[in-house]
A and B are shown apart, each in its own frame.
Chain A
Amino acid sequence: MAMQLIEVVIGGVILGGLYALVAIGFNLQYGMARIVNLAYGEFLMGAAFAAFWTFTLLAVSPILSLALSVPVTFAANWLVYRYLMAPLVRRARDREQLEGETILATFGLLFVLRGAATLAFSANNRYYDYLGAPVRILGFTYAANRVLAFALACAFGVAVWLILTRTRFGAALRALAIDPVGARLVGIDVRGMSALAFAGGGALVAAAGTLVSTFLSFNPAIGIEFTMKALVVVIMGGVGKMMGSLVAGLLLGVAESLCSFYLDSGLTLAVAYALFLVVLILRPRGLFGTR
């Protein structure tokens, strides 16, 4: 019984690593570029399809598709910021108005992208079998693809962490998250940095999409669920706080894993919400929020 519990929790950590990656990307967009992007998950879905086609048509490892989908999504998100978000940033009177308008605009974008994907790929569920073989870790068995996904997610997470803490660029980004006005005053190009942060967030979610596709079935409608989980995790961990996203993402993964083991795997979103509610009630400013 206890062994089973440990197995489930480790499974949850593996899943949570991915959620953390998705949430960190979202946090780059929301915490640093100050854009609430409801179409965020659609890019995950796009990358998942890219991986699917690379694997089924070219019969090469879906991991290779990262080389394509990450830069493409980076560029696409940069363009989205530059041409769709920047006008809203310019005309917003205050942060609240900006949030409201970006929510609406990206809500429209969500339906455009999802519609396009449905048109192109049909609404069918897709699945491919890549590294499905079990591996043993600490005496428990897990699918190899999940473990690989977790490892790569960790690699991406570490890369983001290094960029944020070890480079001038990262320092500027962190300044942006804390105080955009102050950042401008010390000579940071806020508009340009925001565009890069936004694009970077997109690149991370594309990476996550590729990894997700190796072990979950997907269809054009999955984006919204990941967007929501990213939102929940970011709010729980604190806007602009990468460590918070990591911890909250792992927490969500474990909670979900426990839920699908003890209750039902169809209730994952309900678990995310329940967790969200508990955190909101106990700590209205997030897990690591300060008064």
Chain B
Amino acid sequence: MRARTAATAIAGPPLVLLVAILACLPWLLSDYELSLALHLLSYLTLTVAWAMFSGTTRLVSLATSAFFGVGMYTVAMLVKLMPLEAIFAVAAGIGAVLALVVGIVTLRISGMFFVIFGFGLSEMMRQLMVWWEINKTFTMGRYVRVNFDNTMIYEHLLGLCVLAFAAGFLLRRSRLGIAALVIGEDETVARQVGIDVPFVKLAIFVLSCVLMTLVGAVMAPRFGFINPNIAFNPLISFQVVIMALLGGLKRLWGPILGVLPLIALSETLEVEFPFWYSILLGLVFMAIVYFLPRGAVGLIDDAWERLGRPMELPRGYTGWLRDAGAGVARAWAWLSRPRTLPGGFTGPIEGWAKRQWRRLVPEER
């Protein structure tokens, strides 16, 4: 317990500073860089939200784009009626209700039903919205014209992102989070230690979906024009799953390792090979599933494992501090080990220098 508090205290101030610096970025970046940052931040938040549920319970959710789209569409429909912040609240509410309905119906039964339902949810929402637009409001798409520029979007997204990380952090240290971990491991054991399995799943699912809905809502003004095909784009679900898997699900910071390279990759692919985009992304995805099932985090953990931990103590999910200490100790031990090189570290360099010197100044005989 104490070590954990210490770790939090040490990591706290730099993190606050980091967030403060990130908050100033819009005034430092060019327009292009800012829009890239928006892209990145929105996917990072979606991925953290996704991992919050799917990473712990191991139920793959393919419904990200449904919730993202609901957020976006709520803004598109209400934008002329109320102030944006109020719309965000409404969007969060709608997202929560949808998540509750989906969760209550499917989570209770079996993991498979949940996955299937999520898989089609976005497509169904798209159909419903198209039908609504054509038959009820006689429109096809809507303009979102509000006084909400990229800087504002950025600041809101940053807030959401911090919120998502904070929620993930607290979840890992809470009754609910421990329950989710045990559920992911073995549901029979989970029930047998008194965990209300469906409730825990539902609670985390709703939390994660509300975050996704809010990302969609905040991003809406950036699109300017929104129609059902833009809002409910299955590629978003797909990309979020890839990013989360690439990063690895075991750690809170895993999504960062997944989102950065994949955004870079997708930016390049979209510009250089627009027609090959879907194929290449699919191949990357399959490569991750086959060759990197635990993601980048798994690689890093394995590397640490190989270096050999000094002691097997509970890692308490913030074992890094101790790992870092162990790293320093290992480096120290390595440096202070008796060298086989006679002249120590600098020996070879000295020898080389001496030889050069002798070539220049032949020894006296």
- Contact between chain A and chain B defined by CB under 8 Å: yes
Indicate if the CB atoms of A115 and B106 lie closer than 8 Å: no
CB of B249, distance to nearest CB on chain A (Å): 11
Residues of A in contact with B (beta carbons under 8 Å apart): 36, 38, 84, 87-88, 96, 99-101, 103-105, 107-116, 118-119, 224-225, 227-228, 231-232, 235, 264, 266-270, 272-273, 276-277, 280-281, 284
CB of B230 closer than 8 Å to a CB of A: no
The one of A231, A269, A276 that contacts B127, using a Cβ cutoff of 8 Å: A269
Indicate if the CB atoms of B131 and A266 lie closer than 8 Å: yes
Indicate if the CB atoms of A96 and B111 lie closer than 8 Å: yes
B229-273 at interface with A (beta carbon < 8 Å) = 234, 238, 241, 245
Contacts of A108 in B (CB 8 A): 282-283, 285-286, 289
Contacts of A38 in B (CB 8 A): 119
Indicate if the CB atoms of B62 and A107 lie closer than 8 Å: yes
B286-301 at interface with A (beta carbon < 8 Å) = 286, 289-290, 293
Q: With the chains together, A231 CA to B121 CA distance in Å?
A: 13
Residues of B in contact with A (beta carbons under 8 Å apart): 58, 60, 62, 105-106, 108-109, 111-113, 115-117, 119-121, 123-124, 127-128, 130-131, 134-135, 234, 238, 241, 245, 275-283, 285-286, 289-290, 293
Contacts of A84 in B (CB 8 A): 286
Contacts of A87 in B (CB 8 A): 290
The one of A101, A116, A268 that contacts B293, using a Cβ cutoff of 8 Å: A101
Q: With the chains together, A113 CA to B241 CA distance in Å?
A: 18
Do A273 and B279 contact each other (CB < 8 Å), given the known contacts A87-B290, A267-B128?
A: no
Contacts of B58 in A (CB 8 A): 96, 100
Q: With the chains together, A225 CA to B241 CA distance in Å?
A: 20
**Minimal Cβ-Cβ distance residue in B for A36:** B112
The one of A107, A114, A231 that contacts B278, using a Cβ cutoff of 8 Å: A114
Indicate if the CB atoms of A107 and B241 lie closer than 8 Å: yes
Contacts of A113 in B (CB 8 A): 282
**Minimal Cβ-Cβ distance residue in A for B235:** A111
Indicate if the CB atoms of A266 and B282 lie closer than 8 Å: no
Indicate if the CB atoms of B127 and A109 lie closer than 8 Å: no
Contacts of A227 in B (CB 8 A): 119
Indicate if the CB atoms of B285 and A107 lie closer than 8 Å: yes
**Minimal Cβ-Cβ distance residue in A for B238:** A111
